[in-house]
Amino acid sequence: WVNSQNALPPTVILWNGDPLPTTVGSPAALSALVPASNLSKPGTARISLRDRSTGLESAVYLFPITDPGRPDK
């Protein structure tokens, strides 16, 4: 899930610039399922939001992937 302000459909969550199927629960909460393949290699994912009606994008949040396949790490 992603916290936001004033997000309405057709806002989508972007993972490294690629849109994920996104559910807007409210203007303050969005969610999307991240495919396991997106978490299979160490690195840093860039997460942001895009309003598809205007093309505007949010600031980017950097999400570290440090030990794929080990949910306890």
From the list 36, 27, 35, the residue with the least C-alpha distance to 9 is 27
pTM comes to 0.83
- What digits encode the pLDDT tens for the residues 22-66? 998 888 889 999 999 998 889 999 999 999 999 999 999 999 998
- Is residue 2 predicted with pLDDT exceeding 90? no
* Section 2-19 average pLDDT: 88
C-alpha count within 13 angstroms, C-beta hemisphere, residue 51: 12
Model confidence at 19, in pLDDT bands (50, 70, 90)?
very high
Secondary structure letter of residue 57 according to DSSP: B
- Decide: 38 and 45 in contact? Cβ < 8 Å: yes
